[in-house]
């Protein structure tokens, strides 16, 4: 009698073992809740598996064609220089970054598995066809093996690129220093640390991370960062991928902290080193002695930037290094940080107390909307109108007393739709989410530190743009398609996975009264909240860094970046020249001059090539079909012979502060001049002079924006807000990163692709 029972138990155990090791037939797994098709077994490889770069050369004819097309454009516009314009991506994450690994988990909407460093080379060479790229995985995700994997992949890429003086691509490496301050006073923000060389002997033995943890992006370096082991039972087909994630967290947790009293170059390669301020980071980089560039980015992105954060406390002798921070990222796939606007999350009254400012045409403060949400809930509960007004005032007060990014949690159980478009810059091109104007590029260029009147400190940034991709898709902004692949929009793939994903969050129940700051749960805010859901409407295809280089070598690229002869684009490969005219000579973008006469400038811009569908034949023939499909879904950079038209060139003038408390608003003139261009595929040329410079008798800087004709653009209208006849927001239609928005819906609206030149700095002497 016992024997049949033993056999039955053994058989059941065997069946369960087959099922839960992912080896059962596919129909079995269709019975599991949360099942989804995975015909290509996209999660077979994990980010912990080192990937090899495809061993093939880009045809020399392709490089020659790029050069020839540029030469034609230069000759047509009578550009008096022979430097090449090279396009690259200075901000590329792979699934060696913690947040990228998390976004790639099978439970995520639109995810397609691991994108280790080798994918960045293949994508940049063949899919986006860049001239250069930089790997910049988060230092906070560091393990020694992954750092060396990144270096090895870059070396592989360079070894396959042909003649070092004329490579088909130049691959560089660095890391992201992902600093996030809880409050404005200790917030410095994200910076990319870039290096010229790919030889491990000419690189630090380990990255240097920021102290603390980025908001909802970097997994804790402890057991708390692990995913629940239940995921392997819920989704046994992909148990190995979930196990790899937890294994990676264990490796991070096992990495010992470095001794802060030992100089960085003397530390073991496999310890975890941190720096709490930019000044401390700069000091440690100086100890290594290797040439580097440190680039702030995502500066006005309010998802992680505390309210009232600004550049002033960073512009000090302790935290500023003009030689290292020659460039700033003006735009990325996480939004535009260029423009200053005179609005604020909260303001102080004459007594020094925080209050909620009233709405204005280009900005609805979130604190104001907090009061509107509470009033509406209160009235819906049939409460007295006077009591509801009192609660609305209290809600605004409670919101502005919160010094962190979690103020929205003072409205319990809020939804994205309730917040409308509050906190957003309505009149800025593809703005960063919850825009922080005093961390904008324009504001940073306008301020000065006059503690030493003889030598005031200021920022002299050149401009670049990037993707900030988290799927190794360097330079993916060439076509406005595939939103869930080319942007970082992400979230649970369906209702079942949404419930699993949010199971650890304690979400406060909605009610008609706001909470005080000491009553909110920041853990819930990080994991599952309305602000995270709204953010995905502000994620775009990425931008590009362009350099005016004397050749294609890595030295030529690096030298152009160091002299600020750079510009950024929102993704299209526009050609741009901007020069100060000095008799027979010219000073290019990024230059610094001193004069007392009125400056005269010339700008020239040519539109990018319109794209053909699909991928060029040589790409299809070179890359393995499954590999190409995973990376690009059949779409590559594929230029036609027709260019977009340049519609307009705008000139921005900024006069840096003459004293510390000088009001910045009138110093930033955007746009100072605007020139409409005659429609021509050959581009647009303008000349202009500043007639007031000599009379004003103070330093100024000038840069240009060149705008192409509008195209359908992913998240081109962000939250897709509906306004009433009085201009008041009444509804939004968010473009969610999760299952609520179909992964084939690109949420497009017309917008003009653009390029931003580096400034020319004209000091009055």
pLDDT band at residue 51, thresholds of 50, 70 and 90?
confident
Whether 361 and 494 have beta carbons less than 8 Å apart is answered as no
pLDDT band at residue 223, thresholds of 50, 70 and 90?
confident
pLDDT band at residue 526, thresholds of 50, 70 and 90?
low
Mean pLDDT of all residues in 467-489: 95
When mean pLDDT is compared across 286-290, 544-548, 581-585, the lowest value belongs to 581-585
Say how far apart CA 309 and CA 346 lie, in whole Å: 11
CA angle 634, 635, 636 (to 5 degrees): 125
Residue 342: exposure state from Cβ atoms within 10 A (0-12, 13-18, ≥19): middle
pLDDT for 81 equals: 84
Q: Omega of the bond prior to 671 within 30 degrees of 0, cis?
A: yes
pLDDT band at residue 503, thresholds of 50, 70 and 90?
low
Backbone angles phi, psi at 455, to 5 degrees: -145, 70
H/E stretch holding 600? strand 600-606
Residue 18 has pLDDT above 80, yes or no: no
Say how far apart CA 34 and CA 50 lie, in whole Å: 29
Task: Render pLDDT for 166-203 as a digit per residue (tens, 0 to 9).
Answer: 999 999 999 999 999 999 999 999 999 999 999 999 99
pLDDT for 24 equals: 82
- As a 3-state breakdown, the chain gives helix, strand, coil percent values, each rounded to 5, of 30, 20, 50
Say how far apart CA 544 and CA 508 lie, in whole Å: 41
Residue 750: exposure state from Cβ atoms within 10 A (0-12, 13-18, ≥19): exposed
Tokens representing 691?
């007639």
Q: Omega of the bond prior to 485 within 30 degrees of 0, cis?
A: no
Say how far apart CA 499 and CA 170 lie, in whole Å: 44
* Buried-state track 506-536, b at ≥16 Cβ within 10 A, e below 16: ebbeeebebbebeebbeebbbbbbbbbbbbb
Mean pLDDT of all residues in 281-300: 98
Residue 378 has pLDDT above 70, yes or no: yes
Mean pLDDT of all residues in 487-501: 89
Mean pLDDT of all residues in 501-524: 79
pLDDT band at residue 383, thresholds of 50, 70 and 90?
very high
Tokens representing 192?
């990319």
pLDDT band at residue 12, thresholds of 50, 70 and 90?
very low
Residue 596 has pLDDT above 60, yes or no: yes
The closest alpha carbon to 294, from 320, 260, 261, belongs to 320
pLDDT for 8 equals: 44
Say how far apart CA 479 and CA 714 lie, in whole Å: 10
In the block, tokens 């609660």 appear at 391
Whether 721 and 420 have beta carbons less than 8 Å apart is answered as yes
pLDDT for 426 equals: 97
Tokens representing 469?
């991709």
Other CB atoms closer than 10 Å to residue 604's CB: what's the count? Answer: 24
Task: Identify the residue with better confidence: 492 or 222.
Answer: 492
pLDDT band at residue 451, thresholds of 50, 70 and 90?
very high
In the block, tokens 């991370």 appear at 209
Q: Residues near 560 by Cβ (< 8 Å), separated by ≥ 6?
A: 83, 86, 547, 548, 549, 550, 566
Q: Quote the DSSP letter at residue 153.
A: H
pLDDT for 395 equals: 98
Number of residues that this document lists for the chain: 765
What would the 3-class secondary structure string for 514-527 be? CCCHHHCCHHHHHH
- Cα dihedral 333, 442, 557, 69, rounded to 10, equals 70
Half-sphere exposure of residue 601: CA atoms within 13 angstroms, side-chain side: 30
Task: Render pLDDT for 695-708 as a digit per residue (tens, 0 to 9).
Answer: 999 999 999 999 99
Residue 320 has pLDDT above 70, yes or no: yes
Tokens representing 448?
């000065």
pLDDT for 26 equals: 84
Residue 443 has pLDDT above 70, yes or no: yes
CA angle 518, 522, 524 (to 5 degrees): 125
Q: Mean pLDDT across the chain, nearest whole number?
A: 93
Task: Render pLDDT for 351-361 as a digit per residue (tens, 0 to 9).
Answer: 999 999 999 99
Q: Residues near 46 by Cβ (< 8 Å), separated by ≥ 6?
A: 114, 240, 241, 244, 245
In the chain, the domains with their CATH numbers are 60-341+437-489+539-718+734-764 (3.20.20.140), 347-424+505-538 (no CATH)
Report helix, strand or coil for 84.
strand
pLDDT for 49 equals: 87
pLDDT band at residue 11, thresholds of 50, 70 and 90?
very low
Q: Please tell me the pTM assigned to this model.
A: 0.95
Residue 523 has pLDDT above 80, yes or no: no
Q: Quote the DSSP letter at residue 127.
A: I
Alpha carbon separation from 439 to 84, 308, 342, 378, 750 (Å, rounded): 32, 9, 12, 36, 27
pLDDT for 747 equals: 97
pLDDT for 524 equals: 64
pLDDT for 224 equals: 80
In the block, tokens 């400190």 appear at 457
Share of the chain above pLDDT 70, in %: 94
pLDDT for 214 equals: 53
pLDDT for 501 equals: 74
């Amino acid at each position: 009698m016992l024997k049949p029972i033993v056999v039955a138990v053994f058989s059941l155990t065997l069946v369960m073992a087959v099922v839960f090791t992912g080896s059962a037939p596919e129909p079995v797994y269709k019975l599991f809740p949360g099942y989804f098709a995975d015909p290509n077994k996209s999660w077979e490889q994990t980010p912990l598996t080192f990937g090899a770069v495809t061993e093939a050369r880009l045809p020399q004819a392709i490089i020659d064609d790029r050069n020839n097309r540029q030469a034609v454009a230069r000759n047509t516009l009578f550009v008096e220089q022979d430097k090449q314009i090279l396009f690259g991506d200075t901000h590329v994450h792979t699934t060696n970054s913690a947040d990228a690994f998390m976004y790639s988990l099978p439970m995520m909407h639109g995810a397609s598995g691991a994108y280790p460093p080798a994918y960045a080379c293949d994508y940049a060479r063949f899919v986006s066809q860049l001239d250069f790229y930089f790997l910049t995985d988060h230092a906070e995700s560091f393990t020694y093996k992954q750092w060396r994997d990144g270096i090895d992949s870059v070396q592989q890429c360079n070894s396959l690129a042909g003649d070092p003086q004329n490579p088909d691509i130049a691959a560089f490496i660095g890391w992201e220093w992902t600093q996030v301050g809880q409050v404005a006073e200790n917030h410095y923000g994200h910076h990319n640390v870039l290096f010229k060389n790919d030889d491990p002997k000419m690189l630090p033995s380990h990255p240097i991370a920021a102290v603390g943890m980025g908001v909802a992006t970097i997994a804790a370096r402890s057991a708390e960062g692990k995913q629940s082991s239940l995921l392997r039972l819920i989704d046994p087909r992909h148990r190995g991928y979930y196990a790899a994630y937890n294994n990676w967290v264990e490796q991070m947790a096992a990495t010992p902290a470095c001794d802060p009293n030992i100089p960085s170059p003397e530390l073991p390669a496999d310890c975890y080193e941190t720096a709490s301020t930019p000044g401390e980071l700069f000091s440690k980089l100086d100890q290594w002695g290797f040439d580097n560039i440190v680039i702030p980015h995502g500066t006005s992105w309010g998802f992680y930037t505390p309210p009232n954060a600004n550049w002033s406390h960073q512009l000090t002798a302790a935290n500023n290094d003009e030689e290292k921070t020659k460039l700033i990222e003006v735009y990325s796939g996480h939004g535009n940080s260029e423009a200053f606007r005179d609005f604020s999350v909260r303001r102080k009254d004459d007594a020094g107390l925080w209050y909620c400012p009233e709405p204005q045409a280009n900005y609805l403060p979130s604190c104001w909307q907090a009061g509107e949400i509470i009033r509406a809930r209160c009235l819906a509960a049939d409460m007295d109108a006077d009591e509801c007004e009192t609660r609305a005032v209290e809600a605004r007060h409670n919101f502005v007393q919160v010094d962190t990014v979690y103020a929205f949690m003072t409205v319990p159980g809020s939804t994205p739709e309730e917040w409308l478009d509050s906190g957003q810059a309505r009149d800025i091109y593809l703005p960063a989410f919850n825009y922080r104007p005093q961390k904008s590029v324009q504001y940073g260029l306008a301020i000065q530190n006059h503690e030493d009147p003889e030598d005031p400190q200021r920022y002299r940034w050149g401009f670049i743009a990037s993707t900030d991709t988290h799927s190794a898709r360097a330079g993916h902004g060439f076509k406005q398609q595939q939103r869930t692949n080319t942007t970082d929009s992400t979230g649970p793939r369906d209702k079942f996975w949404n419930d699993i994903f949010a199971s650890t969050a304690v979400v406060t129940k909605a009610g008609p009264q706001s909470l005080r700051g000491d009553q909110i749960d920041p853990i819930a805010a990080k994991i599952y909240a309305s602000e995270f859901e709204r953010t995905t409407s502000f994620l775009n295809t990425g931008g590009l860094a362009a350099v005016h280089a004397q050749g294609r070598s890595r030295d030529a690229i690096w030298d152009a970046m160091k002299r600020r002869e750079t510009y950024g684009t929102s993704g299209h490969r526009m050609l741009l020249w901007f020069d100060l005219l000095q008799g027979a000579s010219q000073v290019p973008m990024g230059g610094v001059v001193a004069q007392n006469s009125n400056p005269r400038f010339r700008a020239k811009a040519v539109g990018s090539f319109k794209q053909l569908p699909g991928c060029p034949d040589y790409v299809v023939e070179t890359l393995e079909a499954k590999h190409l499909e995973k990376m690009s879904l059949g779409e590559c950079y594929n230029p036609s012979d027709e260019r977009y038209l340049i519609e307009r060139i705008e000139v921005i003038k900024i006069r840096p502060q003459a004293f510390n408390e000088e009001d910045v608003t009138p110093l930033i003139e955007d746009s100072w001049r605007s020139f409409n261009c005659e429609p021509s595929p050959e581009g647009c040329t303008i000349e202009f002079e500043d007639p007031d410079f000599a009379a004003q008798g103070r330093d100024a800087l000038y840069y240009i924006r060149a705008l192409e004709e509008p195209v359908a653009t992913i998240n081109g209208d962000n939250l897709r807000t509906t306004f009433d006849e009085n201009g008041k927001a009444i509804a939004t239609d968010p473009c969610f990163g999760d299952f609520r928005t179909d992964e084939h819906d690109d949420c497009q609206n017309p917008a003009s692709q653009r390029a931003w030149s580096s400034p020319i700095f004209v000091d009055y002497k």
